[in-house]
Structure 1
């Protein structure tokens, strides 16, 4: 699984690399697509042309791995919602905190960099 980091950058290269993955995640906004995804996740990934690495990350719910493969947090969250995961949960995964620790950090003004 990917490691927690605080330097995910969705630049042009990452966006191109993650195009199929982001497109697949975005498709989950529609109820009919969520039903098709739930019925056969692997086939759904194949229908969107995910690379083998992207498909494995989706099936394993390797959230940081998906970002490493070019996913956008905003699109990845649509997949997380399929598993009833909150944005605070994902924030915790991406920063190495629990969802509760991440939420507390947000309430206290967030992490300070510099």
Structure 2
């Protein structure tokens, strides 16, 4: 099996990260339900407790820290559910991950596709 070369500044979502972020990703998946989105918005801390998030995950949720959520085991596809609550889309997440504005991130995507 080939050894993967890490990408500088990138957290690879592998088995270790999946286990680390299981509770966080499970909570974000729950946001498929409108009632769960409302429950989260009414009391974020209680909702995080319900899913047994650890301190790093709670702090990243509280601070809306996408890179912190990824470092804490978050998978971007599940984090998109959380981002939706905040009115963000996947391009917003990409911009946050890269430290770019959304417009700059979109321009980069267009340039890469040409």
- Alpha-carbon shift at residue 8 of structure 1 (Å): 2.3
Provide the rounded CA distance (Å) in 2 between the counterparts of 1:52 and 1:6.
22
Distance 1:64 1:11 in 2: 16
Which of the pair has more CA radius of gyration? 2
The structure 1 residue matched to 2:104, chosen from 89, 97, 101, is: 101
How many residues are aligned here?
Answer: 106
Match of 2:23 among 7, 20, 24: 20
Distance 2:31 2:88 in 1: 14
Q: Which residue of 2 aligns with 1:84?
A: 87
Deviation at 1:60, TM superposition (A): 1.1
Structure 2: runs of 5 or more not aligned: 1-7
Paired position in structure 2 for 1:71: 74
Aligned counterpart for 2:42 among listed residues 39, 44, 53: 39
Higher relative contact order (CA 8 A, sep 6+): 1
Structure 1 position 6, deviation (Å): 4.8
TM-score, normalised relative to structure 1: 0.88
Unaligned runs of at least 5 residues, structure 1? none
Compute the TM-score of the two structures, normalised by the length of structure 2. Answer: 0.88
C-alpha distance in structure 2 between counterparts of 1:54 and 1:38, whole Å: 17
